[in-house]
Amino acid sequence: EDKVVQSPLSLVVHEGDTVTLNCSYEVTNFRSLLWYKQEKKAPTFLFMLTSSGIEKKSGRLSSILDKKELSSILNITATQTGDSAIYLCAVGSNFGNEKLTFGTGTRLTIIP
């Protein structure tokens, strides 16, 4: 059974701090790893990492895929209160058909 594990489950930091969120996976026929940010409503897409694109950066957010360690990290520098959210990791795999397996998420709280 495919599995995606995120850590920590929750994290509280002060504004301006740097945080690192972790995602590890065990899936059959890995295709991609996606990061989503979920505030009160819809998960919104942040990054997609694949074998051909193992590093992505957008502003203060960056992510790296380590295919050898079967894991990924999401870094957020100079955190702001607007970064408070649940960060979801999802792994795409193909075993007969394409599917996404989601982790349980990391709840990040930024204290002003």
Give the HSE-up count for residue 102: Cα atoms under 13 Å, Cβ half-sphere: 11
Q: Which of 11, 22, 26, 48 is close enough to bind other proteins by CB under 8 A? A: 48
Q: Which of 7, 28, 98, 109 is close enough to bind other proteins by CB under 8 A? A: 98
Please give the size of the binding site for other proteins, defined by CB under 8 A. Answer: 26
> The tokens of 50 are what?
């694949």
Segment contacting other proteins by CB under 8 A, of 14-22, 57-65, 66-74, 98-106: 98-106
Q: How far apart are CA 34 and CA 72, in angstroms?
A: 10
**With respect to other proteins, which residue has the nearer C-beta, 62 or 101?**
101
**Is 58 a residue that touches other proteins (CB under 8 A)?**
no
